[in-house]
Chains A and B, each alone.
Chain A
Amino acid sequence: MSLSGSLLTRPPAVRQRAQGGWLLVSLAALVAALVLSLAVGSRALNPAEVLDVLLGSGTAEARAIVLDLRLGRTVAAMIAGAGLAVAGAVIQGHTRNPLADPGLLGVTSGAAVAVVLAIFLLGITNPVGYLWFCLLGAALGTILVTAVGLAGARRRDASPASLVLAGAAINALLGAVTGVLLLLDSATLDVYRFWTVGSLAGGQESAVLVVTAPLVLAGILLAVAHAPALDSLALGDDAAKSLGRNPLRARLTGLTAVTLLVGAAVASAGSLGFVGLVAPHVMRRVTGPAHRWLLPQCALAGAVFVLIADVLGRLVVHPAELPVGVVLGIVGAPAFVLIVVRYKKTRGARR
């Protein structure tokens, strides 16, 4: 039974206070993960030194390590994690599919391949230039996913798995495209790998992060703004219409939000998977299905996940480094399998 189960029987004021409490817990977890991310690495610092640097003082060496090396990747991890987690929750709400995730459905791959094609065909080298292609790829991917998801939802016995399988096919196709491009232009191998595997090691240029952070914030605000519509969409389009919502407008808002979120996330950290799947599932146990609490919690939880994954990647093969996309795959895939295996039990005899 979920934690929210006991909360849902309490009066609304108590529920709001409880959810507010949980938000504070998540915020504290985020701060802890942030400090951890700044402290861990080939030259480990202790939290006191990190706090000193953040507050303005601290040794020159510590300042160099924290500010030049680790701050960029930490901020990028937070942006990517928050963006992908909220995007995942929004896609899950719109397609009524609990297995939806921007990585699994091929949206992040679409954004990454758009950038790779831009580099290869148009020779774009400006990081802000990449961003437009990221957004374009994310938009195309989201439109495709929504179309397939809606086509599936209209069939009476549609399975959520079709969407994921279509996403797997798209991922395979885009992987083949990237593979071929790699062969045709092997000079920029590392650049391609960054976009398609997802890594924070490149030393994110602050020019990119300065642009992507507001985009992710805008996406989160947009998503939270249409949270009530998202709640009613869970009942089906007809029920939502009878409750006075406009499903089409809600879908367009959701589409815009997901495009902004995924585009900015991929531009910050490359293509990461499973964050958008696992974070909403975990947070739903705390907040229940109400999106106005779920979405902010997802943002915080997603940031924490990616930060922890990055820290793990730095620890397990010390002093080398596992790309964060690989760690998320190794940890997230079993979580995905667990969700799939247990899904039938909670839905009863539907199948």
Chain B
Amino acid sequence: MSPATGSVPAIRVLGLSARLRPRHLIVIGVGSVLAALVAVISAGVGDYQMSPARVVAVLLGHGTPMEHLVISTIRLPRVLLGLVVGAALGVSGAIVQATARNALASPDLLGVTAGASVGAVLVLVVGGSGAAASGLLRSVGVPVAALIGGTVAAGLVLLLLRRTGADGLRPLLVGIGVSAFLSGIVSWLMVVATIDDAARANIWLTGTLNGRSWPEVWSATAALAVIAVPLVVLAPRLLTLRLGTDVARGLGLATGPTQAMLLMAAVVLAGATTAVAGPIGFVALVVPHLARLATGSAGPPLAASAVIGALLLVCADLFARTAFAPIQIPTGAVTAFVGAPFLIWLLIRNRQGVLR
């Protein structure tokens, strides 16, 4: 959609072209730097305090074995997980908001996190002692079950949405209803579980990056990488979809399959992050708005959402660890403290009744 005069800055290489949007690039660059900075600071904070410079030194290889141990087995996985989970949630939220053309849509409001909780708790409760911390069931079964649960819940909500339509706030009410139902199921499972299983499930349910380690980092990164590849291809179609389904169809886009693929990607991302870090809410809702404000674009930008999501979550995690030291509050609680007032503000500010 560039004007015929060609005054829009773009890169053209071997038949492929992409628009250069300076503000996007600045936001992505600055955001990445800030995220890395906060990550380094966060890696230094804890029982064994280290200054950021020391952390960098350890990462580069010059450090005592004790520092290496602390950083590489405890701090680094947690910080990296925060970055990856934040990025995944940001992208997931951006996709859902752009596809549904609804400023308040987000995977957690649409029941994905509740469904993932049901899947994970089911495995933890039914698996019994086989789902203990070091078992295969725990490291593979729980995330897979969470992913399946999230997908099923999203499918249920989408099925219901066929009757209400995707516009307006009613899809979110459907999502809230489905989430409430699934939360009831989770409570049921917790009641029938043994005390040990219930305690394990409770830990999983708290939505925290505490106690996660390298396996979780790898699975989250794998999910993000796997989704990122088709997303690069689908991203231009996302822009077209934002014009509305009729116009998009008129421009030759197959709206049905494209929407389905995009939503599938969003659900997989949200489900995978819930699977490894428990339910962390409101990030997928808030980050696309922040990214849109920062880059000044008309719709939620994908890459900027990833970067700002990573930054937000790493900051939230740092706050969660240090605010009430030595007690660590769940990262999900911090995001709820920030995200819930934001949602209320969005609702109040919304003059047209629903959309952006």
Q: Give chain A's interface residues, CB within 8 Å of chain B.
A: 99, 104, 148, 151, 155, 157-159, 161-162, 164-166, 168-170, 172-173, 175-176, 179-180, 183-184, 197, 273-274, 317, 320-323, 326-327, 329-330, 332-334, 336-337, 340-341, 343-344, 351
- Residues of chain B contacted by A179 (CB below 8 angstroms): 206, 329-330, 332-333
Chain A contact residues, majority secondary structure: helix
CA–CA, A334 and B180, complex, Å: 9
- Residues of chain B contacted by A327 (CB below 8 angstroms): 184
Knowing A172-B336, A173-B340, A317-B191 are in contact, say whether A344-B170 is a contact too (CB < 8 A): yes
**Chain A CB within 8 A of B204 CB:** no
CA–CA, A173 and B168, complex, Å: 23
Knowing A164-B176, A165-B169, A170-B340 are in contact, say whether A148-B348 is a contact too (CB < 8 A): yes
CA–CA, A322 and B160, complex, Å: 28
**Chain A CB within 8 A of B44 CB:** no
Residue from B180, B336, B343 with most neighbouring chain A CB atoms (10 Å): B180
Q: Which of B168-215 contact A (CB under 8 A)?
A: 168-170, 172-174, 176-178, 180-181, 183-185, 187-188, 191-192, 206
CA–CA, A166 and B346, complex, Å: 9
- Residues of chain A contacted by B332 (CB below 8 angstroms): 176, 179
B160–A341 contact, CB under 8 A?
Answer: yes
- Looking at the assembled complex, report how far the CB atom of B110 sits from the nearest CB atom of chain A, in whole angstroms: 12
CA–CA, A175 and B329, complex, Å: 13
A273–B180 contact, CB under 8 A?
Answer: yes
Residue from A151, A159, A176, A179 with most neighbouring chain B CB atoms (10 Å): A176
A161–B170 contact, CB under 8 A?
Answer: yes
Knowing A159-B354, A321-B191, A333-B178 are in contact, say whether A99-B344 is a contact too (CB < 8 A): no
- Looking at the assembled complex, report how far the CB atom of A341 sits from the nearest CB atom of chain B, in whole angstroms: 5
- Looking at the assembled complex, report how far the CB atom of A155 sits from the nearest CB atom of chain B, in whole angstroms: 7
Q: Which of B169, B181, B333, B339 contacts A161 (CB 8 A)?
A: B169
- Looking at the assembled complex, report how far the CB atom of B13 sits from the nearest CB atom of chain A, in whole angstroms: 45
| Between-chain CB contacts (< 8 Å), 29 pairs | A104-B176, A151-B348, A159-B168, A159-B353, A159-B354, A161-B169, A162-B169, A165-B343, A165-B347, A166-B347, A168-B109, A169-B341, A169-B343, A172-B281, A172-B339, A172-B340, A173-B337, A173-B340, A179-B329, A179-B333, A180-B330, A183-B330, A326-B191, A329-B181, A329-B183, A330-B185, A333-B184, A336-B180, A340-B173
A317–B180 contact, CB under 8 A?
Answer: no
**Chain A CB within 8 A of B163 CB:** yes
Knowing A159-B353, A172-B340 are in contact, say whether A326-B333 is a contact too (CB < 8 A): no
Closest to B164 in A: A341
**Chain A CB within 8 A of B134 CB:** no
Q: Which of B268-320 contact A (CB under 8 A)?
A: 281-282
- Residues of chain A contacted by B282 (CB below 8 angstroms): 172
**Chain A CB within 8 A of B4 CB:** no
CA–CA, A273 and B184, complex, Å: 11
Knowing A320-B192, A341-B160 are in contact, say whether A162-B350 is a contact too (CB < 8 A): yes
Q: Which of B173, B187, B348 contacts A164 (CB 8 A)?
A: B173
Q: Which of A158, A322, A333 contacts B188 (CB 8 A)?
A: A322
A334–B177 contact, CB under 8 A?
Answer: yes
- Looking at the assembled complex, report how far the CB atom of B156 sits from the nearest CB atom of chain A, in whole angstroms: 10
B177–A173 contact, CB under 8 A?
Answer: no
CA–CA, A172 and B344, complex, Å: 11
Closest to B285 in A: A169
- Residues of chain A contacted by B104 (CB below 8 angstroms): 165
- Residues of chain A contacted by B348 (CB below 8 angstroms): 148, 151, 166
CA–CA, A176 and B227, complex, Å: 31
- Residues of chain A contacted by B333 (CB below 8 angstroms): 176, 179-180
**Chain A CB within 8 A of B352 CB:** yes
- Looking at the assembled complex, report how far the CB atom of A109 sits from the nearest CB atom of chain B, in whole angstroms: 12
A330–B181 contact, CB under 8 A?
Answer: yes
Q: Give chain B's interface residues, CB within 8 Å of chain A.
A: 104, 109, 160, 163-164, 168-170, 172-174, 176-178, 180-181, 183-185, 187-188, 191-192, 206, 281-282, 324, 327, 329-330, 332-334, 336-337, 339-341, 343-344, 347-348, 350-354
Return the 3 tightest CB-CB contacts between A and B, nearest first: A161-B169, A329-B184, A176-B336
- Residues of chain A contacted by B178 (CB below 8 angstroms): 333, 337
Knowing A151-B348, A172-B339, A175-B336 are in contact, say whether A340-B164 is a contact too (CB < 8 A): yes
- Looking at the assembled complex, report how far the CB atom of B179 sits from the nearest CB atom of chain A, in whole angstroms: 8
- Looking at the assembled complex, report how far the CB atom of B185 sits from the nearest CB atom of chain A, in whole angstroms: 7
- Looking at the assembled complex, report how far the CB atom of B103 sits from the nearest CB atom of chain A, in whole angstroms: 11
B350–A343 contact, CB under 8 A?
Answer: no
Closest to A156 in B: B353
- Looking at the assembled complex, report how far the CB atom of A344 sits from the nearest CB atom of chain B, in whole angstroms: 7
- Residues of chain B contacted by A273 (CB below 8 angstroms): 180
Knowing A158-B353, A337-B177 are in contact, say whether A330-B188 is a contact too (CB < 8 A): yes
- Residues of chain B contacted by A322 (CB below 8 angstroms): 187-188, 191
- Looking at the assembled complex, report how far the CB atom of B304 sits from the nearest CB atom of chain A, in whole angstroms: 24
Residue from A184, A317, A323, A337 with most neighbouring chain B CB atoms (10 Å): A337
A337–B187 contact, CB under 8 A?
Answer: no
CA–CA, A169 and B339, complex, Å: 8
CA–CA, A326 and B186, complex, Å: 9
- Residues of chain A contacted by B351 (CB below 8 angstroms): 155
- Looking at the assembled complex, report how far the CB atom of B11 sits from the nearest CB atom of chain A, in whole angstroms: 41
- Residues of chain A contacted by B173 (CB below 8 angstroms): 99, 161, 164-165, 336-337, 340
Closest to A167 in B: B176
- Residues of chain B contacted by A155 (CB below 8 angstroms): 351, 353
Closest to B156 in A: A337
CA–CA, A169 and B104, complex, Å: 12
